[in-house]
Amino acid sequence: LALTATATPTVRDDIMKVLALRNPFETVSGFSRPNLFLAITTVDKHRQKYARLADIVSQWKTGIVYCATRKRVEEVAETLHGQGVKCIAYHGGMSEAEREATQNTFISRKADVAVATNAFGMGIDRSDVRFVVHFEIPGSIEAYYQEAGRAGRDGESAYCELFFNYADTRTQEFFIEGANPSYQTICEVYRFLLNESDDDFEVNCTLDQIADGADVKNGMAVGSALSVLVRGAYIERFDITGKRMKGTRIKQPDILAMDLKIDRSALEEKDRRDREKLDAVVQLCYGRQCRQQAILEYFGEENAKVCGNCDICNSADAGDAREPRSDEELLVVRKALSGVARMSRQSSSGWEGIFGKGKIIQMLMGSQSQEIKRVRLNELSTHGLLKSYGTTYLNELFRSMHEAELVVTQKGEYPLLTLTLRGEEVMSGKAKPSIVWPEYHTPSRTKDESIEMEEYDFDAALYDRLKDLREKLAKKGGVPSYHIFPNKTLEHFTRLRPKTHDAGCRIKGVGAMKADRYLNYFIDEINRE
């Protein structure tokens, strides 16, 4: 009997091969978690993450915040402590006793929020976890769904949000590099062990010391290389009395590094799969398919239906890709692509990125920051070209252009955005784009209309009043409440507090039809303060 909680068709095939199962009965079910609201929010800066996190904690109270690194866990926990939140920090760098005590503090409800790496959560028996936040992108959809699934174990509604910034993928790529050492790295580690071993063929060095001696830049790769050598029966690891480290014993000292028999194809295949898993999460973040449906399809569930309970299902601008319906729509995309081109380099092999998406949008918005001026982006002909559209719209537009493969993020030390050949064709007028168009009302040419609305602190009381109003309107109209305005739009109302119908129409999630039917009710409620 082979059981697994979350496994893709590929992993299930691997399980059958490893266990040598012949024509086994296979059943797949139970992936769906309809009580979880899944959302992915694109953020450009850490302060946006902290502001969003504060809103979520204020609204949902009890939950888990997953971070990619120990350092980030401590930073987030310290920030929440400063805001008066009862929280604990949990990561693999703590002693076993510290981890157990911290975990018990959360389980016994002496703390409301746990900030943790992915080491936290297995076996956690707390049913009232109302939210899970991923502060950075996780390394796989398997990890994301397992961790998000720790919310709402009591069957009641729970909220899960992932903060997406493409730059965060670099951390996961570092982990992948650490988990998948190259054949050369394995040989260098083994060669170092041979050279440093004593008369008993033992080496008492920390992983960092081995990394320095073997000239391995990614220290995580040393531990992974040692695991490969253990599986090959070339070395064994043993505990050192009184120390929090292990020693290494060479079992076949006559074998040189050049004679190691390592399955290189298996190493390369695992590296490829791990990178594909990360790419799948990135595509989920950029995509506009129902979150639950996309995840269920990833796990091989056939005929998965839309959930009606995620940010995509509740979004006013969720829709199918189409060509522009007006010259203005086409012009916006061509201007945006021109901005990307001005901030890229064209070579014989194609386009090469120089700047990230954030800088490009700042330039198109006409930013006069010192950094923009320092690199003279304020002198470009495209500087301020799309200022009237606002940062929110441009972020959504770039997301759509990325999904339509008009632009591409090039991997490296920093994520740099540039044109694709398709994007170049659209920019030069040789082709028309087919994208999911972000919702936007024709920008006014007047000065007042182009000014960004002031943002207020999140007001939980106002938010609750708006939810009550939405519930009344939903009952009166005989429609689900999220068909009127999704929660995220109500949050925008709470923070931006539009005082007029026109101001409300400029808020993300307010379409023309919904504005005509419902907006004035909400404006009146906001003005009732």
CA angle 433, 439, 440 (to 5 degrees): 100
Identify whether the C-beta of residue 486 lies closer than 8 Å to the C-beta of residue 509: yes
Count the Cβ atoms, other than its own, within 10 Å of residue 513: 9
336-376 pLDDT per residue, tens: 999 999 999 998 889 999 998 889 999 999 988 888 999 99
The C-alpha atoms of residue 254 and residue 194 are separated, in whole angstroms, by 9
| pLDDT for res 447 | 37
Residue 152 gets the label, from left (phi > 0), alpha (psi -120 to 50) or beta, of left
| 247 neighbors 237 (Cβ within 8 angstroms) | yes
Those residues whose C-beta lies under 8 Å from the C-beta of residue 311, and which sit 6 or more positions away, are: 37, 38, 39, 40, 41, 291, 486, 488
Instruction: Give percent above pLDDT 90 in the chain.
Output: 59
5 has a pLDDT exceeding 90 = no
- Range 327-449: architecture per CATH: Orthogonal Bundle (1.10)
Tell me the pTM: 0.70
Residues 270, 273, 279, CA angle at the centre, nearest 5°? 145
Best CA proximity match to 68, nearest among 186, 220, 216, 208: 220
Helix (H) or strand (E) holding 250: strand 246-250
Q: By mean pLDDT, which of 52-66, 118-132, 246-260, 326-340 is the weakest?
A: 118-132
* Amino acid 485: pLDDT: 85
Q: What is the mean pLDDT of residues 127-141?
A: 96
Least confident of 121-125, 289-293, 396-400: 121-125
| Strand order across the beta sheet in which 246-250 lies | 202-203, 246-250, 235-239
Structure tokens at 103: 């975990």
Q: Facing residues of 409 across strands?
A: 417
Distance of alpha carbon 477 from alpha carbon 494, whole angstroms: 23
Nearest to 130 by CA among 114, 153, 146: 153
- Rounded to whole angstroms, the Cα distance separating 121 from 473 reads 39
The better pLDDT of the pair 172, 321 is held by: 172
CATH topology assigned to domain 175-262: Arc Repressor Mutant, subunit A (1.10.10)
pLDDT at 256 over 90: yes
What is d(CA 26, CA 3) in angstroms, rounded to the nearest whole number?
10
Q: Which two tokens stand for residue 348?
A: 């014989």
Residue 204 has what pLDDT? Answer: 94
pLDDT value of position 395: 86
Q: Where would I find the beta strands (DSSP E) of 375-446?
A: 407-410, 416-419
| Residue positions counted in the chain | 529
What are the pLDDT digits (tens) for 173-199?
Answer: 999 999 999 999 999 999 999 999 999
Look at residue 279 in the predicted model and tell me its pLDDT: 93
Element (H, E) at 115: strand 113-116
Residue 451 has pLDDT above 80, yes or no: no
Whether residue 5 contacts residue 16, with contact meaning beta carbons closer than 8 Å, is answered with no
Tokens of 495: 């923070």
Please tell me if the domain spanning 9-164+276-298 has the same topology as the one spanning 327-449.
Answer: no
* pLDDT at residue 29 is higher than 80: no
- Under DSSP, the state recorded for 453 is P
The CATH class that applies to domain 461-527 reads mainly alpha
Backbone angles phi, psi at 239, to 5 degrees: -75, 145
Question: How large is the average pLDDT for residues 404-415?
Answer: 84
Contacts with 111 (C-beta within 8 Å, 6 or more apart), sequence order: 86, 87, 88, 105
| Rounded distance between C-alpha atoms, residue 311 and residue 487, angstroms | 9
419 — phi, psi (to 5°)? -80, 150
Tens-digit pLDDT profile for residues 475-488:
888 777 777 888 88
Helix boundaries (H) for 287-348 = 291-298, 327-342
Backbone angles phi, psi at 45, to 5 degrees: -135, 155
Helix axes 207-214, 219-231, angle to 10 degrees: 100
> Is the pLDDT score of 39 beyond 60?
yes
Q: Which residues does 457 contact at the CB level (< 8 Å), separation at least 6?
A: 495
**pLDDT at res. 237:** 96
Whole-Å CA distances, 73 to 64, 102, 141: 11, 13, 21
| Of 271, 201, 210, 265, residue with least CA distance to 234 | 201
pLDDT at 122: 64
How many angstroms separate the most distant Cα atoms in the chain?
Answer: 85
Number of helices (H), then strands (E), belonging to the chain: the values are 21, 13
Summarize the confidence of residues 140-150 as an average pLDDT.
94
CA distances from residue 342 to 203, 285, 355 in whole angstroms, order as listed: 55, 27, 10
Helices 183-196 & 219-231 angle (0-180, nearest 10): 80
Calculate mean pLDDT across residues 59-63: 94
Stretch 110-124: mean pLDDT, rounded? 83
Query: Angle between the 291-298 and 264-286 helix axes, to the nearest 10 degrees?
Result: 160
> What's the whole-number mean pLDDT along residues 329-340?
95
The distance from CA 154 to its chain's CA centroid, rounded to whole angstroms, is 26
Q: Is 427 helix (H, G, I), strand (E, B) or coil?
A: helix
Where does 143-225 show beta strands of DSSP type E?
A: 158-164, 202-203
For the chain, domain boundaries: 9-164+276-298, 175-262, 327-449, 461-527
| Model confidence at 449: pLDDT above 50 | no
* Rg of the chain over all Cα atoms, to the nearest angstrom: 26
Q: What angle do CA 468, 470, 472 make, to 5 degrees?
A: 70
DSSP 516: I
The mean pLDDT value for 4-19 works out to 72
Q: What is the pLDDT of residue 30?
A: 64
Q: What CATH number was assigned to the domain covering residues 9-164+276-298?
A: 3.40.50.300
Task: Name the percent of the chain lying above pLDDT 70.
Answer: 93
Q: Where does the pLDDT of residue 444 fall: very low under 50, low under 70, confident under 90, or very high at 90 and above? A: very low
User: What rounded mean pLDDT belongs to the chain?
Assistant: 88
Predicted pLDDT of residue 440: 63
Q: How confident is the model at residue 334 (pLDDT cuts 50, 70, 90)?
A: very high
